[in-house]
Amino acid sequence: EAQVTQNPRYLITVTGKKLTVTCSQNMNHEYMSWYRQDPGLGLRQIYYSMNVEVTDKGDVPEGYKVSRKEKRNFPLILESPSPNQTSLYFCASSGRWQETQYFGPGTRLLVL
Amino acid sequence: GIQVEQSPPDLILQEGANSTLRCNFSDSVNNLQWFHQNPWGQLINLFYIPSGTKQNGRLSATTVATERYSLLYISSSQTTDSGVYFCAVALSGSARQLTFGSGTQLTVLP
Closest alpha carbon within chain B to A47: B97
* A106 Cβ contact list (under 8 Å, min separation 6): A6, A9, A37, A88, A89, A90, B41, B42, B43
Q: What mean pLDDT do residues B53-65 have?
A: 97
pLDDT score, position A63: 97
Is A101 within 8 Å of B45 when comparing Cβ atoms? yes
CB proximity B107 to A under 8 Å: no
* B42 Cβ contact list (under 8 Å, min separation 6): A103, A105, A106
- Chain A contacts in chain B segment 53-82 (CB below 8 A): none
Q: How confident is the model at residue B1 (pLDDT cuts 50, 70, 90)?
A: confident
A106: left (phi over 0), alpha (psi -120 to 50) or beta: left
pLDDT tens, residue by residue, A32-87: 999 999 998 889 999 999 999 999 999 999 999 999 999 999 999 999 999 999 99
pLDDT score, position A111: 98
Instruction: Compare CB distances from B33 to A44, A58, A101 and report the shortest one's residue.
Output: A101
Beta strands in A8-85 (DSSP E): 10-13, 19-25, 31-38, 42-51, 54-57, 65-66, 76-78
Q: What mean pLDDT is reported for chain A?
A: 96
pLDDT score, position B66: 94
Closest alpha carbon within chain B to A41: B102
CB proximity B45 to A under 8 Å: yes
Is B48 within 8 Å of A90 when comparing Cβ atoms? no
Is A45 within 8 Å of B99 when comparing Cβ atoms? yes
pLDDT score, position B94: 65
pLDDT score, position A66: 98
Is B100 within 8 Å of A106 when comparing Cβ atoms? no
Distance (Å, rounded) from C-alpha A94 to C-alpha A59?
Answer: 19
Distance (Å, rounded) from C-alpha B3 to C-alpha A55?
Answer: 24
DSSP A57-69: E-S--TT-EE--S
Is A103 within 8 Å of B45 when comparing Cβ atoms? yes
Distance (Å, rounded) from C-alpha B56 to C-alpha B66?
Answer: 24
CB proximity B83 to A under 8 Å: no
Question: Any idea of the CA torsion for B24, B28, B34, B39, to the nearest 10 degrees?
Answer: -60
Which chain B residues touch A31 with a CB distance below 8 Å?
96
Distance (Å, rounded) from C-alpha B17 to C-alpha B38?
Answer: 19
Q: How many CB pairs under 8 A join A and B?
A: 51
pLDDT at A31 over 90: yes
pLDDT tens, residue by residue, B66-105: 999 999 999 999 999 999 999 999 888 766 889 999 999 9
Q: What mean pLDDT is reported for chain B?
A: 95
Which chain B residues touch A90 with a CB distance below 8 Å?
43
Q: How confident is the model at residue A112 (pLDDT cuts 50, 70, 90)?
A: very high
Backbone φ, ψ for residue A83 (5° rounding): -55, -30
| Pairing assessment for the beta strands A10-13 and A107-111 based on DSSP bridges | parallel
Do the beta carbons of residue A5 and residue A92 sit within 8 Å? no
Report the half-sphere exposure of A108 (CA within 13 A, side-chain side): 5
pLDDT score, position B49: 96
Name the residue with higher pLDDT: A54 or A2: A54
Is B33 within 8 Å of A45 when comparing Cβ atoms? no
CB proximity B35 to A under 8 Å: yes
